Chain A
Amino acid sequence: EIVLTQSPGTLSLSPGERATLSCRASQSVSSSYLAWYQQKPGQAPRLLIYGASSRATGIPDRFSGSGSGTDFTLTISRLEPEDFAVYYCQQYDSAPRTFGQGTKVEIK
């Protein structure tokens, strides 16, 4: 099973700042089968990024994904008030599909 470790656990930033979230895999994720999801309290997760760097439908271009192999990054270029949430990475390269433990982006 591929274990995904996200860092930091919590990111305290102000609106307008840049957020950089990390996701490290215990073994290589081939062909960048990695996704990022956003979850707000009481809501279902929402797909942001798939294939490590492709934005899902309707996702603003301030969200970008990068990386390959074992190291992946989600960047939010300028935080909007609605971006404060928990973010999860997920690998879908091998079974079972696994998620990271999440990074909370909170208002500083």
Chain B
Amino acid sequence: EVQLLESGGGLVQPGGSLRLSCAASGFIFSNYAMSWVRQAPGKGLEWVSVISGSGGSTYYADSVKGRFTISRDNSKNTLYLQMNSLRAEDTAVYYCAKNLVSALAASRDAFDIWGQGTMVTVSS
């Protein structure tokens, strides 16, 4: 069964850091670009970042550029999101999501598999 399982969320103070993980199973992880998408409480979906299958190419939303870093370890079938300088507006459920067909970060591709999400709360 194709599955994504996020972990690492929690409560953090403004200015703090957190690292999210997403464990993948049931597919050849390195064959697909992976993204992080977040959803603030009661709000819609916001794409955050994408990484290519090889890990060599990454892109970020302007709202997180310079503060968040996406990475992956294909030997461990795991995707990461390092979040620094966190702000209250980063409070959200963070989902990892798999590209439908492509390994390219810049590809035009929908997200066919999503994890269950992990909650990040930034508050003092």
Q: Which residues of A contact B (CB under 8 A)?
A: 31, 33, 35, 37, 43-47, 50-51, 56-57, 88, 90, 92-93, 95-102
Contact = CB atoms under 8 A, between A and B. Distances in A.
13 contacts: A33-B108, A37-B45, A44-B116, A45-B45, A47-B110, A51-B110, A90-B110, A92-B109, A92-B110, A95-B59, A99-B44, A99-B45, A100-B44
Interface string B82-120: 000000000000010000100000101111101111000
A8 B86 CA distance: 34
A31 B108 contact: yes
Contacts of A56: 100, 110, 112
Contacts, number: 56
Chain B interface residue number, banded: 20 to 34
Interface of B: 35, 37, 44-47, 50, 59, 61-62, 95, 100, 106, 108-112, 114-117
